[in-house]
Protein backbone atom coordinates (compact mmCIF):
# COMPACT_ATOMS: atom_id res chain seq x y z
CA UNK A 1 0.00 0.00 0.00
CA UNK A 2 1.55 3.27 -1.16
CA UNK A 3 1.30 6.59 0.65
CA UNK A 4 -1.44 7.69 -1.76
CA UNK A 5 -3.63 4.60 -1.54
CA UNK A 6 -6.99 4.03 0.11
CA UNK A 7 -7.22 0.83 2.19
CA UNK A 8 -9.76 -1.81 1.23
CA UNK A 9 -12.50 -2.67 3.72
CA UNK A 10 -14.93 -5.59 3.73
CA UNK A 11 -18.07 -5.83 5.86
CA UNK A 12 -19.42 -9.01 7.42
CA UNK A 13 -22.99 -8.71 8.64
CA UNK A 14 -24.71 -10.93 11.16
CA UNK A 15 -28.21 -12.19 11.87
CA UNK A 16 -29.10 -14.76 14.51
CA UNK A 17 -31.59 -15.95 17.08
CA UNK A 18 -32.01 -14.29 20.45
CA UNK A 19 -32.28 -17.66 22.17
CA UNK A 20 -29.30 -19.94 21.61
CA UNK A 21 -29.10 -23.37 23.24
CA UNK A 22 -25.30 -23.44 23.48
CA UNK A 23 -23.75 -19.94 23.61
CA UNK A 24 -20.22 -21.33 23.86
CA UNK A 25 -20.61 -23.45 20.71
CA UNK A 26 -22.19 -20.50 18.92
CA UNK A 27 -19.29 -18.26 19.85
CA UNK A 28 -16.77 -20.84 18.67
CA UNK A 29 -18.58 -21.32 15.35
CA UNK A 30 -18.78 -17.56 14.76
CA UNK A 31 -15.11 -17.19 15.68
CA UNK A 32 -14.09 -19.83 13.15
CA UNK A 33 -16.26 -18.26 10.46
CA UNK A 34 -14.67 -14.86 11.00
CA UNK A 35 -11.17 -16.29 10.98
CA UNK A 36 -11.84 -18.15 7.74
CA UNK A 37 -13.09 -14.96 6.09
CA UNK A 38 -10.05 -12.97 7.16
CA UNK A 39 -7.71 -15.68 5.94
CA UNK A 40 -9.52 -16.09 2.63
CA UNK A 41 -10.10 -12.44 1.61
CA UNK A 42 -7.43 -9.75 1.87
CA UNK A 43 -8.29 -6.40 3.39
CA UNK A 44 -9.68 -5.28 6.73
CA UNK A 45 -12.95 -6.90 7.78
CA UNK A 46 -15.49 -4.92 9.80
CA UNK A 47 -18.41 -6.43 11.69
CA UNK A 48 -21.95 -5.12 11.22
CA UNK A 49 -24.84 -6.16 13.44
CA UNK A 50 -27.42 -5.13 15.97
CA UNK A 51 -26.82 -5.77 19.64
CA UNK A 52 -29.78 -7.95 20.62
CA UNK A 53 -29.27 -10.66 23.22
CA UNK A 54 -28.17 -14.05 22.01
CA UNK A 55 -26.61 -14.24 18.56
CA UNK A 56 -25.91 -10.53 18.03
CA UNK A 57 -24.02 -10.12 21.28
CA UNK A 58 -22.11 -13.35 20.68
CA UNK A 59 -21.07 -12.00 17.29
CA UNK A 60 -19.93 -8.69 18.78
CA UNK A 61 -17.84 -10.50 21.39
CA UNK A 62 -16.08 -12.56 18.74
CA UNK A 63 -15.47 -9.51 16.57
CA UNK A 64 -13.85 -7.79 19.57
CA UNK A 65 -11.79 -10.86 20.44
CA UNK A 66 -10.25 -10.79 16.96
CA UNK A 67 -9.44 -7.09 17.20
CA UNK A 68 -11.89 -6.19 14.44
CA UNK A 69 -13.85 -2.97 14.25
CA UNK A 70 -17.61 -3.16 14.70
CA UNK A 71 -20.42 -0.99 13.36
CA UNK A 72 -23.75 -1.17 15.18
CA UNK A 73 -27.06 -0.98 13.35
CA UNK A 74 -30.10 -0.58 15.63
CA UNK A 75 -33.74 -1.01 14.63
CA UNK A 76 -34.95 1.68 17.05
CA UNK A 77 -33.52 4.53 19.13
CA UNK A 78 -31.80 3.36 22.30
CA UNK A 79 -34.57 4.63 24.59
CA UNK A 80 -37.06 2.46 22.69
CA UNK A 81 -34.77 -0.45 21.90
CA UNK A 82 -33.86 -0.98 25.54
CA UNK A 83 -37.46 -2.00 26.30
CA UNK A 84 -36.72 -5.37 24.70
CA UNK A 85 -33.98 -6.09 27.26
CA UNK A 86 -33.80 -6.85 30.94
CA UNK A 87 -31.69 -4.34 32.93
CA UNK A 88 -28.76 -6.76 33.02
CA UNK A 89 -29.03 -7.51 29.30
CA UNK A 90 -29.23 -3.83 28.40
CA UNK A 91 -26.19 -3.07 30.56
CA UNK A 92 -24.15 -5.50 28.45
CA UNK A 93 -25.61 -4.05 25.26
CA UNK A 94 -24.65 -0.54 26.35
CA UNK A 95 -21.14 -1.71 27.12
CA UNK A 96 -20.81 -3.21 23.66
CA UNK A 97 -22.28 -0.10 21.98
CA UNK A 98 -19.63 2.00 23.70
CA UNK A 99 -17.03 0.12 21.66
CA UNK A 100 -18.82 0.58 18.32
CA UNK A 101 -16.92 2.60 15.74
CA UNK A 102 -20.21 3.77 14.25
CA UNK A 103 -23.86 3.49 15.36
CA UNK A 104 -26.73 3.80 12.91
CA UNK A 105 -30.42 3.85 13.83
CA UNK A 106 -32.81 2.59 11.15
CA UNK A 107 -36.22 3.77 12.38
CA UNK A 108 -37.41 6.41 14.81
CA UNK A 109 -41.18 5.97 14.85
CA UNK A 110 -41.99 2.73 12.99
CA UNK A 111 -43.96 -0.32 14.02
CA UNK A 112 -41.65 -2.50 16.07
CA UNK A 113 -41.69 -5.56 13.81
CA UNK A 114 -41.22 -3.39 10.74
CA UNK A 115 -38.20 -1.74 12.33
CA UNK A 116 -36.62 -5.12 13.09
CA UNK A 117 -37.22 -6.30 9.52
CA UNK A 118 -35.78 -3.11 8.06
CA UNK A 119 -32.75 -3.44 10.32
CA UNK A 120 -32.12 -6.98 9.08
CA UNK A 121 -32.48 -5.98 5.45
CA UNK A 122 -30.17 -2.99 5.89
CA UNK A 123 -27.62 -5.29 7.51
CA UNK A 124 -27.68 -7.49 4.42
CA UNK A 125 -27.44 -4.51 2.06
CA UNK A 126 -24.48 -3.06 3.92
CA UNK A 127 -22.50 -6.30 4.09
CA UNK A 128 -20.34 -8.20 1.62
CA UNK A 129 -21.02 -11.46 3.46
CA UNK A 130 -23.74 -12.41 5.93
CA UNK A 131 -23.07 -14.83 8.80
CA UNK A 132 -26.22 -16.32 10.26
CA UNK A 133 -26.90 -18.52 13.27
CA UNK A 134 -30.17 -20.15 12.22
CA UNK A 135 -32.06 -23.30 13.04
CA UNK A 136 -33.56 -23.56 9.55
CA UNK A 137 -37.11 -22.93 10.79
CA UNK A 138 -39.43 -20.17 9.54
CA UNK A 139 -39.39 -16.88 11.42
CA UNK A 140 -41.73 -16.63 14.41
CA UNK A 141 -42.45 -12.99 13.61
CA UNK A 142 -41.70 -10.34 11.02
CA UNK A 143 -38.01 -9.53 10.88
CA UNK A 144 -36.79 -12.90 12.17
CA UNK A 145 -33.56 -14.58 11.11
CA UNK A 146 -35.35 -16.68 8.46
CA UNK A 147 -36.62 -13.52 6.74
CA UNK A 148 -33.16 -11.95 6.73
CA UNK A 149 -31.49 -15.09 5.34
CA UNK A 150 -34.17 -15.46 2.67
CA UNK A 151 -33.63 -11.87 1.57
CA UNK A 152 -29.86 -12.30 1.43
CA UNK A 153 -30.15 -15.45 -0.68
CA UNK A 154 -32.72 -13.87 -3.00
CA UNK A 155 -30.38 -11.00 -3.96
CA UNK A 156 -27.36 -13.26 -4.35
CA UNK A 157 -25.51 -12.18 -1.22
CA UNK A 158 -22.87 -14.68 0.00
CA UNK A 159 -24.20 -16.26 3.20
CA UNK A 160 -22.43 -18.46 5.74
CA UNK A 161 -25.18 -20.28 7.63
CA UNK A 162 -24.31 -21.83 11.01
CA UNK A 163 -26.91 -24.43 11.91
CA UNK A 164 -27.88 -23.74 15.53
CA UNK A 165 -28.89 -27.38 16.04
CA UNK A 166 -25.52 -28.99 15.24
CA UNK A 167 -23.19 -25.96 14.69
CA UNK A 168 -22.19 -27.09 11.22
CA UNK A 169 -21.53 -24.21 8.80
CA UNK A 170 -22.41 -24.18 5.13
CA UNK A 171 -21.90 -21.59 2.43
CA UNK A 172 -24.51 -20.27 0.01
CA UNK A 173 -23.90 -18.00 -3.01
CA UNK A 174 -20.19 -18.14 -2.24
CA UNK A 175 -19.24 -17.86 -5.88
CA UNK A 176 -20.52 -14.29 -5.81
CA UNK A 177 -18.10 -13.21 -3.10
CA UNK A 178 -15.97 -10.33 -4.37
CA UNK A 179 -12.44 -10.80 -3.13
CA UNK A 180 -11.33 -7.32 -4.12
CA UNK A 181 -12.70 -4.05 -5.40
CA UNK A 182 -11.27 -3.74 -8.90
CA UNK A 183 -12.04 -0.03 -9.23
CA UNK A 184 -10.34 0.85 -5.95
CA UNK A 185 -7.37 -1.36 -6.79
CA UNK A 186 -6.96 0.33 -10.19
CA UNK A 187 -7.15 3.77 -8.62
CA UNK A 188 -4.62 2.81 -5.95
CA UNK A 189 -2.24 1.71 -8.69
CA UNK A 190 -2.23 5.14 -10.33
CA UNK A 191 1.21 6.78 -10.14
CA UNK A 192 1.75 9.07 -7.19
CA UNK A 193 2.19 12.78 -7.81
CA UNK A 194 4.45 15.08 -5.81
CA UNK A 195 4.88 18.80 -5.54
CA UNK A 196 1.26 19.71 -6.23
CA UNK A 197 -0.31 22.69 -4.55
CA UNK A 198 -3.59 22.04 -2.85
CA UNK A 199 -5.49 22.58 0.34
CA UNK A 200 -6.02 19.69 2.72
CA UNK A 201 -8.85 21.70 4.25
CA UNK A 202 -9.37 19.85 7.51
CA UNK A 203 -6.13 17.88 7.87
CA UNK A 204 -7.52 14.61 6.57
CA UNK A 205 -5.17 11.62 6.58
CA UNK A 206 -2.30 12.14 4.17
CA UNK A 207 -3.15 9.07 2.11
CA UNK A 208 -6.68 10.35 1.42
CA UNK A 209 -5.48 13.78 0.36
CA UNK A 210 -2.76 12.41 -1.91
CA UNK A 211 -5.15 9.83 -3.34
CA UNK A 212 -7.54 12.62 -4.35
CA UNK A 213 -4.72 14.57 -5.92
CA UNK A 214 -3.44 11.71 -8.03
CA UNK A 215 -6.97 10.83 -9.22
CA UNK A 216 -7.50 14.48 -10.14
CA UNK A 217 -4.22 14.61 -12.08
CA UNK A 218 -4.95 11.32 -13.83
CA UNK A 219 -8.40 12.57 -14.85
CA UNK A 220 -7.00 15.85 -16.18
CA UNK A 221 -4.11 14.28 -18.07
CA UNK A 222 -6.02 11.25 -19.30
CA UNK A 223 -9.09 13.03 -20.65
CA UNK A 224 -9.36 11.55 -24.15
CA UNK A 225 -11.30 14.55 -25.53
CA UNK A 226 -14.07 12.33 -26.84
CA UNK A 227 -16.33 15.28 -27.52
CA UNK A 228 -13.72 16.84 -29.79
CA UNK A 229 -13.37 13.58 -31.68
CA UNK A 230 -17.13 13.31 -32.12
CA UNK A 231 -17.25 16.93 -33.30
CA UNK A 232 -14.55 16.16 -35.85
CA UNK A 233 -16.66 13.34 -37.34
CA UNK A 234 -19.59 15.75 -37.76
CA UNK A 235 -17.40 18.40 -39.39
CA UNK A 236 -15.80 15.89 -41.75
CA UNK A 237 -19.22 14.68 -42.90
CA UNK A 238 -20.34 18.28 -43.42
CA UNK A 239 -17.21 19.02 -45.44
CA UNK A 240 -17.80 15.94 -47.60
CA UNK A 241 -21.37 17.07 -48.25
CA UNK A 242 -20.25 20.60 -49.16
CA UNK A 243 -17.72 19.22 -51.63
CA UNK A 244 -20.40 17.04 -53.24
CA UNK A 245 -22.87 19.96 -53.38
CA UNK A 246 -20.25 22.26 -54.85
CA UNK A 247 -19.33 19.68 -57.50
CA UNK A 248 -22.96 19.34 -58.60
CA UNK A 249 -23.90 23.01 -58.36
CA UNK A 250 -20.90 24.36 -60.26
CA UNK A 251 -20.43 21.30 -62.47
CA UNK A 252 -16.80 21.03 -61.42
CA UNK A 253 -14.76 18.34 -63.11
CA UNK A 254 -11.64 18.37 -60.99
CA UNK A 255 -9.90 15.08 -60.22
CA UNK A 256 -9.06 16.22 -56.71
CA UNK A 257 -12.68 16.67 -55.57
CA UNK A 258 -13.75 12.98 -55.42
CA UNK A 259 -10.54 12.20 -53.56
CA UNK A 260 -11.11 15.08 -51.16
CA UNK A 261 -14.61 13.80 -50.46
CA UNK A 262 -13.25 10.28 -50.00
CA UNK A 263 -10.60 11.59 -47.61
CA UNK A 264 -13.24 13.36 -45.50
CA UNK A 265 -15.44 10.27 -45.27
CA UNK A 266 -12.43 8.05 -44.58
CA UNK A 267 -11.24 10.42 -41.89
CA UNK A 268 -14.69 10.39 -40.25
CA UNK A 269 -14.67 6.59 -40.31
CA UNK A 270 -11.17 6.55 -38.84
CA UNK A 271 -12.19 8.81 -35.98
CA UNK A 272 -15.21 6.58 -35.30
CA UNK A 273 -12.91 3.55 -35.14
CA UNK A 274 -10.59 5.39 -32.74
CA UNK A 275 -13.57 6.24 -30.54
CA UNK A 276 -14.69 2.63 -30.51
CA UNK A 277 -11.28 1.14 -29.82
CA UNK A 278 -10.29 3.56 -27.10
CA UNK A 279 -13.31 3.00 -24.89
CA UNK A 280 -11.00 1.77 -22.11
CA UNK A 281 -9.19 5.11 -21.87
CA UNK A 282 -12.56 6.86 -21.80
CA UNK A 283 -13.73 4.60 -18.98
CA UNK A 284 -10.51 5.26 -17.05
CA UNK A 285 -10.97 9.00 -17.45
CA UNK A 286 -14.56 8.85 -16.18
CA UNK A 287 -13.56 6.61 -13.27
CA UNK A 288 -10.69 8.89 -12.19
CA UNK A 289 -12.83 12.02 -12.41
CA UNK A 290 -15.63 10.40 -10.41
CA UNK A 291 -13.18 9.26 -7.72
CA UNK A 292 -11.52 12.68 -7.55
CA UNK A 293 -14.82 14.48 -7.04
CA UNK A 294 -16.08 12.02 -4.42
CA UNK A 295 -12.82 12.44 -2.52
CA UNK A 296 -13.10 16.21 -2.86
CA UNK A 297 -16.53 16.15 -1.21
CA UNK A 298 -15.27 13.83 1.52
CA UNK A 299 -12.30 16.09 2.25
CA UNK A 300 -14.59 19.12 2.39
CA UNK A 301 -16.65 17.52 5.17
CA UNK A 302 -13.75 15.99 7.08
CA UNK A 303 -13.85 18.71 9.71
CA UNK A 304 -17.36 17.82 10.87
CA UNK A 305 -17.41 16.30 14.36
CA UNK A 306 -18.81 13.02 13.05
CA UNK A 307 -18.54 11.08 9.82
CA UNK A 308 -21.36 12.61 7.82
CA UNK A 309 -23.73 10.31 5.90
CA UNK A 310 -22.47 11.89 2.70
CA UNK A 311 -22.78 8.79 0.54
CA UNK A 312 -25.50 6.95 2.47
CA UNK A 313 -28.12 7.04 -0.29
CA UNK A 314 -25.66 6.51 -3.10
CA UNK A 315 -26.13 3.35 -5.16
CA UNK A 316 -23.29 3.28 -7.67
CA UNK A 317 -21.44 -0.07 -7.71
CA UNK A 318 -18.33 1.37 -9.34
CA UNK A 319 -17.53 3.55 -6.31
CA UNK A 320 -18.98 1.42 -3.52
CA UNK A 321 -15.61 0.36 -2.17
CA UNK A 322 -14.22 3.88 -2.36
CA UNK A 323 -17.09 5.60 -0.55
CA UNK A 324 -17.12 2.89 2.12
CA UNK A 325 -13.40 3.40 2.74
CA UNK A 326 -13.81 7.17 2.90
CA UNK A 327 -16.66 6.87 5.40
CA UNK A 328 -14.75 4.45 7.63
CA UNK A 329 -11.58 6.52 7.56
CA UNK A 330 -13.58 9.64 8.40
CA UNK A 331 -15.30 7.81 11.28
CA UNK A 332 -11.92 6.97 12.73
CA UNK A 333 -10.40 10.41 12.41
CA UNK A 334 -13.41 12.60 13.25
CA UNK A 335 -12.83 12.25 16.96
CA UNK A 336 -9.04 12.66 16.75
CA UNK A 337 -8.61 16.30 15.73
CA UNK A 338 -11.87 18.22 16.19
CA UNK A 339 -12.22 21.58 14.46
CA UNK A 340 -14.12 24.47 16.03
CA UNK A 341 -17.38 25.43 14.37
CA UNK A 342 -16.14 28.91 13.48
CA UNK A 343 -12.95 27.54 11.92
CA UNK A 344 -14.96 25.01 9.94
CA UNK A 345 -17.36 27.66 8.65
CA UNK A 346 -14.57 29.99 7.57
CA UNK A 347 -12.54 27.26 5.85
CA UNK A 348 -15.58 25.74 4.15
CA UNK A 349 -16.79 29.12 2.88
CA UNK A 350 -13.37 30.20 1.61
CA UNK A 351 -12.07 26.93 0.22
CA UNK A 352 -15.21 25.10 -0.88
CA UNK A 353 -18.12 27.47 -1.52
CA UNK A 354 -16.10 30.26 -3.09
CA UNK A 355 -13.90 27.83 -5.02
CA UNK A 356 -16.90 26.05 -6.53
CA UNK A 357 -18.60 29.37 -7.30
CA UNK A 358 -15.54 30.49 -9.23
CA UNK A 359 -15.43 27.15 -11.06
CA UNK A 360 -19.06 27.30 -12.21
CA UNK A 361 -18.71 30.94 -13.24
CA UNK A 362 -15.69 30.04 -15.38
CA UNK A 363 -17.57 27.14 -16.91
CA UNK A 364 -20.56 29.34 -17.75
CA UNK A 365 -18.30 31.96 -19.31
CA UNK A 366 -16.80 29.28 -21.54
CA UNK A 367 -20.02 27.53 -22.49
CA UNK A 368 -22.38 30.49 -22.93
CA UNK A 369 -20.54 32.31 -25.77
CA UNK A 370 -20.10 29.06 -27.68
CA UNK A 371 -23.77 28.22 -27.18
CA UNK A 372 -24.81 31.68 -28.44
CA UNK A 373 -22.55 31.45 -31.50
CA UNK A 374 -23.73 27.99 -32.48
CA UNK A 375 -27.36 28.90 -31.88
CA UNK A 376 -27.03 32.07 -33.97
CA UNK A 377 -25.30 30.11 -36.70
CA UNK A 378 -28.13 27.59 -36.73
CA UNK A 379 -30.80 30.29 -37.15
CA UNK A 380 -28.82 32.12 -39.82
CA UNK A 381 -28.19 28.93 -41.81
CA UNK A 382 -31.83 27.85 -41.46
CA UNK A 383 -33.26 31.22 -42.51
CA UNK A 384 -30.87 31.51 -45.46
CA UNK A 385 -31.79 27.98 -46.52
CA UNK A 386 -35.48 28.93 -46.42
CA UNK A 387 -34.86 32.12 -48.39
CA UNK A 388 -32.80 30.40 -51.09
CA UNK A 389 -35.32 27.56 -51.37
CA UNK A 390 -38.23 30.01 -51.56
CA UNK A 391 -36.42 32.09 -54.20
CA UNK A 392 -35.80 28.98 -56.25
CA UNK A 393 -39.46 27.92 -55.97
CA UNK A 394 -40.74 31.38 -56.96
CA UNK A 395 -38.34 31.64 -59.91
CA UNK A 396 -39.31 28.21 -61.21
CA UNK A 397 -43.02 28.85 -60.76
CA UNK A 398 -43.00 32.26 -62.46
CA UNK A 399 -40.29 31.28 -64.94
CA UNK A 400 -38.09 34.22 -63.94
CA UNK A 401 -34.73 34.50 -65.63
CA UNK A 402 -31.84 34.85 -63.17
CA UNK A 403 -28.08 35.38 -63.55
CA UNK A 404 -25.87 32.32 -63.74
CA UNK A 405 -24.29 32.89 -60.31
CA UNK A 406 -27.76 33.06 -58.71
CA UNK A 407 -28.72 29.82 -60.44
CA UNK A 408 -25.62 27.93 -59.32
CA UNK A 409 -25.09 29.41 -55.88
CA UNK A 410 -28.54 30.46 -54.56
CA UNK A 411 -30.70 27.86 -56.33
CA UNK A 412 -28.40 24.82 -56.39
CA UNK A 413 -25.58 25.06 -53.84
CA UNK A 414 -27.18 26.82 -50.84
CA UNK A 415 -30.39 24.74 -50.61
CA UNK A 416 -28.23 21.62 -50.31
CA UNK A 417 -25.42 22.91 -48.11
CA UNK A 418 -27.21 25.22 -45.67
CA UNK A 419 -29.56 22.59 -44.14
CA UNK A 420 -26.53 20.37 -43.58
CA UNK A 421 -24.67 23.23 -41.89
CA UNK A 422 -27.71 24.03 -39.71
CA UNK A 423 -28.05 20.40 -38.71
CA UNK A 424 -24.33 20.25 -37.88
CA UNK A 425 -24.53 23.37 -35.69
CA UNK A 426 -27.48 22.07 -33.70
CA UNK A 427 -25.64 18.73 -33.38
CA UNK A 428 -22.62 20.53 -31.93
CA UNK A 429 -24.86 22.11 -29.29
CA UNK A 430 -26.17 18.67 -28.41
CA UNK A 431 -22.77 16.95 -28.49
CA UNK A 432 -21.29 19.54 -26.12
CA UNK A 433 -24.44 19.48 -23.99
CA UNK A 434 -24.30 23.27 -24.01
CA UNK A 435 -27.92 24.12 -23.30
CA UNK A 436 -28.11 21.89 -20.22
CA UNK A 437 -24.68 22.90 -19.01
CA UNK A 438 -25.38 26.63 -19.14
CA UNK A 439 -28.65 26.18 -17.22
CA UNK A 440 -27.01 23.82 -14.75
CA UNK A 441 -24.04 26.12 -14.13
CA UNK A 442 -26.42 28.95 -13.26
CA UNK A 443 -28.44 26.73 -10.94
CA UNK A 444 -25.29 25.61 -9.14
CA UNK A 445 -24.16 29.20 -8.66
CA UNK A 446 -27.52 30.13 -7.13
CA UNK A 447 -27.40 27.10 -4.85
CA UNK A 448 -23.85 27.84 -3.69
CA UNK A 449 -24.63 31.51 -3.03
CA UNK A 450 -27.63 30.53 -0.90
CA UNK A 451 -25.61 27.89 0.95
CA UNK A 452 -22.89 30.41 1.71
CA UNK A 453 -25.40 32.84 3.24
CA UNK A 454 -27.00 30.10 5.36
CA UNK A 455 -23.66 28.76 6.58
CA UNK A 456 -22.59 32.23 7.70
CA UNK A 457 -25.54 32.34 10.14
CA UNK A 458 -25.26 28.77 11.49
CA UNK A 459 -24.58 28.59 15.20
CA UNK A 460 -24.85 24.82 15.87
CA UNK A 461 -23.14 21.80 14.40
CA UNK A 462 -26.46 20.18 13.58
CA UNK A 463 -27.72 23.04 11.43
CA UNK A 464 -24.29 23.50 9.88
CA UNK A 465 -24.01 19.81 9.01
CA UNK A 466 -27.47 19.85 7.42
CA UNK A 467 -26.60 22.71 5.07
CA UNK A 468 -23.14 21.36 4.26
CA UNK A 469 -24.59 17.95 3.37
CA UNK A 470 -27.26 19.54 1.16
CA UNK A 471 -24.54 21.50 -0.61
CA UNK A 472 -22.32 18.47 -1.10
CA UNK A 473 -25.25 16.34 -2.26
CA UNK A 474 -26.06 18.96 -4.89
CA UNK A 475 -22.43 19.04 -6.03
CA UNK A 476 -22.31 15.24 -6.14
CA UNK A 477 -25.59 15.16 -8.06
CA UNK A 478 -23.98 17.29 -10.74
CA UNK A 479 -21.06 14.83 -10.86
CA UNK A 480 -23.41 11.85 -11.10
CA UNK A 481 -25.39 13.56 -13.85
CA UNK A 482 -22.16 14.16 -15.74
CA UNK A 483 -21.18 10.53 -15.15
CA UNK A 484 -24.45 9.27 -16.61
CA UNK A 485 -24.23 11.44 -19.71
CA UNK A 486 -20.57 10.65 -20.28
CA UNK A 487 -21.02 6.92 -19.74
CA UNK A 488 -23.91 6.97 -22.24
CA UNK A 489 -21.72 8.66 -24.83
CA UNK A 490 -19.04 6.02 -24.19
CA UNK A 491 -21.48 3.19 -24.88
CA UNK A 492 -22.41 4.77 -28.22
Please indicate, yes or no, whether residues 395 and 323 belong to a single structural domain of this protein.
Answer: yes
Please indicate, yes or no, whether residues 171 and 211 belong to a single structural domain of this protein.
Answer: no
SS3 of residue 205 by DSSP: coil
Q: List pLDDT tens digits, range 391-421.
A: 999 998 998 888 998 999 999 999 999 999 9
Residue 424 lies in a domain: yes
State which residues form the domain around 33: 9-176
pTM score:
0.82
Please indicate, yes or no, whether residues 149 and 287 belong to a single structural domain of this protein.
Answer: no
Please indicate, yes or no, whether residues 172 and 232 belong to a single structural domain of this protein.
Answer: no
Q: List pLDDT tens digits, range 237-268.
A: 999 999 999 998 888 888 898 999 999 999 98
Mean pLDDT of 366-389: 95
Q: Which H/E stretch holds residue 70?
A: strand 69-74
Please indicate, yes or no, whether residues 365 and 450 belong to a single structural domain of this protein.
Answer: yes
According to DSSP, the residues that pair with 322 across neighbouring strands are none
Please indicate, yes or no, whether residues 156 and 289 belong to a single structural domain of this protein.
Answer: no
Please indicate, yes or no, whether residues 300 and 163 belong to a single structural domain of this protein.
Answer: no
The pLDDT of residue 2 is above 60: no
- Total tally of structural domains belonging to the chain: 2
Look at residues 291, 329, 289 and name the one whose alpha carbon lies nearest to residue 308. 329
The pLDDT of residue 373 is above 80: yes
Greatest CA separation found in the chain?
Answer: 107
Please indicate, yes or no, whether residues 424 and 284 belong to a single structural domain of this protein.
Answer: yes
Please indicate, yes or no, whether residues 327 and 443 belong to a single structural domain of this protein.
Answer: yes
Residue 181 lies in a domain: no
Name the percent of the chain lying above pLDDT 70.
Answer: 94
Residue 137 lies in a domain: yes
Please indicate, yes or no, whether residues 102 and 230 belong to a single structural domain of this protein.
Answer: no
Look up the CATH number of the domain holding residue 111: 3.40.50.450
The pLDDT of residue 490 is above 60: no
Q: List pLDDT tens digits, range 437-450.
A: 899 999 999 999 99
Residue 49 lies in a domain: yes
Please indicate, yes or no, whether residues 340 and 421 belong to a single structural domain of this protein.
Answer: yes
pLDDT of residue 492: 45
What are the b/e assignments for 426-461, b being 16+ CB within 10 Å? bbbbebbbbeebbebbeebbebbeebbebbeebeee
Amino acid sequence: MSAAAIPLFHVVGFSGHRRISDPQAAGQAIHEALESLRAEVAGEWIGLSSVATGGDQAFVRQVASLGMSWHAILPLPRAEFCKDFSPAEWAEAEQQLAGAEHVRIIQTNAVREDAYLDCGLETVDGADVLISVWDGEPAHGKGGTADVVAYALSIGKPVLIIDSTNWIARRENWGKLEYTDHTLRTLNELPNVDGLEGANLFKAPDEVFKFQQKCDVAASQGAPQFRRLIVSTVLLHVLATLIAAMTLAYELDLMVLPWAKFACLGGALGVAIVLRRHGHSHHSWVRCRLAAEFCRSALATWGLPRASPLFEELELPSVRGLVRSLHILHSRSARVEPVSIEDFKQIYLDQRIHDQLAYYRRQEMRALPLFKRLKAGFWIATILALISTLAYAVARTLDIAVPEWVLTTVFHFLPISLPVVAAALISLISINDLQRRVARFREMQMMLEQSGKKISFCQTWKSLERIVLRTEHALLQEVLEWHSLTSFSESH
